[in-house]
Structure 1
Amino acid sequence: MEALLANPSLLRLNLRLLRPPLLFSPSSSSPSSSSPSSSSSSIATARPAAPRRRVRSAFQDQFPEPDEAFGEVSRIVGSRSAPTQPDEPSPATEFLIEWKDGHAPSWVPAAAVAADVVAEYETPWWTAAKKADDAALSALLADPATARDPDATDPEGRTALHFAAGLGSEPCVRALAAAGADLDRRDRAGGGLRPLHMAAGYARPAAVKALLELGADPAAGDAAGRSALELAREVLAKTPRASPAGFAKRVALEAAIVELEKAVFEFAEVAELLEARGRGDRREYLVQWKDGGEREWVKAGWVAEDLIADFEAGLEYGEAEAVIGSRPAAAAGGGGGGGGGVEYLVKWVDIEEATWEPAENVDPLLVEEFKAKEGTTATAGNLN
């Protein structure tokens, strides 16, 4: 994943948000401009001064005029993404400020709010997210006094769910999903990765399974159009086999891939490979399904290797109906060569004439049915 993510470390987190969470109840400690966890009661920022304007509701938009004075902040009690101008790269953040003098809360641009006030508001949420602390996240989500927006994003466009998925915390994933987090939100700096990409690329099979169970889209792509399954396979191909750490990561990646394959594919039995196109990673085969489903082009990586080998070798397939006879392989004209083994006479669904086939080309279930029938016939003959 290091080569795939703009910021490969899940633990390096800028605590300034482009769209912060909603509420945080500050501590009662004395104010300090040097500590993000200290109370912000004495931090000043712009707000309307007396005479106050008429307020229709406690949360009416109010912006400071140039001649208005500074007031004391009690705390941040909300946030939102303000409307943007066409030339602005991302939504601007505004905080809903609760004033110490009891004046109605007002929306203030993030740039006008002291850094330690913002940090005090954001730190508990992102500390819990980057540590995958499910107890802390659940407490913040459940407590009305510290209600949070589960889809708050950091400067790279990642949500807490991106971090929980990348760190493999199934409890955090489920808690955030229960709070309404967007399971398929793309980040910005990482190449449009979604939480499922994070879990798959970082080899977190439990998180992959949880996200899929909760409704994450396994086919959703990143900015390059890769699904989480395709990303996991890319990472697996680049993971060394020799070292113990590499081996453990490969095992986890393979487990994640199994979960993704179960979600992406409805496994069906192949009747025949009809055509091929493309080369290398773009190789695809036109598949005819045994259940009569519509023919479709399937990537080579999703087709059984033995079917591909037979197709490339020019072998043809037919649908066997039953095994109706057997003989030692040596009995075949110039074939078995006295090496032992058995050949079976196969009756085909789509071919009128039965043919002798080596045991490895015959469905074992049909062989077992033939042997059971032969055994029943032999027993009946002995009784007579």
Structure 2
Amino acid sequence: MIKGRGAVSNPAGRFELRRSEAADDGWYPDGADSADEGGEPERLKTTLHVDQSRSIIARNESPDLPFSQTINPYRGCEHGCIYCFARPSHGYLNLSSGLDFETQLYYKPQAAALLEAELRKPGYRCAVISLGASTDPYQPIERELKITRSLLEVMQRFRHPVGIVTKGALVERDIDLLQDLAKDGLAHVALSITTLDPALKRTLEPRAASGAARLRVLRRLSDAGIPTMVLFSPVIPFVNDAEMESVLAAARDAGARRASYIMLRLPYEVKDLFREWLETHAPLKAAHVLSLVEQMRGGKLNDPRFGSRMKGEGQYAAIVEQRFRIACRRLGFDGAGLQGLRCDAFTVPAAAGDQLRLAL
């Protein structure tokens, strides 16, 4: 187990031609617990790589998502959330969805320039852009790289609508930009809060902000006039599901006006990584947790079908949905999901060297 990391291991990705498996051949002494003694290192450093992508906006037609355009400033995520459905994407880089996903990070230094070029194209049609649909735009490396902030600066100049989903308290830094956009109905922020238990957070999402910090940020954003919602995600059977009502209540007290939830998803390699996490951190619960997941996923650990992958099916999923609806009604949330944003304010500002228009 690596301190400060979510994954317990670093298995080969599903596209790798070769696989290896560690085995104890008796060469090293029993109880070795450091790299020098034959064990794993106690800590793994984060390594940054430049992402040379030539485009920045990804588009989707998923009926499960309330947006069609997304931007991910980073590939991989240092938050290390063990349940992250984006982990398998590291396989396309010939890297592991385990520890590599948390430590081998790719950033897009040209993101703002690419976005501006895209928005200036004559054929561009304005639609809400979501930041954080896969990996978190406010993970720790954003503090120095400021790529997410540079994207927001472009959207501010173009008056482009943006929705943000994050577990990072660093979003508080950009209140100035978000407040300016929000006054014209062009921005909203969803804070994903999985647990208010510090001990559970340390293993489940080790480098994400604490639940208390996220609630503080919700209050700051709400007080600044920025529409906010709480996303109780993911709902993990017998791990954090009992916290649903308390998380929603705390978020409502902090100023959130909307709420939503997503059931645990375990695509591809995430199934094995999550099973490994359970066996390490909650071995007495493991069998029951996986059994409940299978009950809401048609007897499997994952169901990728549109319409069911976000909420699940079966008795357990129905109970969670009922609890959510009752809690939202009791707490007075305005509704589920993200608030609609305007697209009619979009404008293309003059670029350096453009010919000025004559005043009439």
| Class of the TM-score when normalised by the shorter of the 2 chains | under 0.3
Normalised TM-score (structure 2):
0.25
Q: Which has the higher strand share?
A: 1
Larger radius of gyration: 1
Normalised TM-score (structure 1):
0.23
Higher relative CO (Cα under 8 Å, sequence separation at least 6) belongs to 2
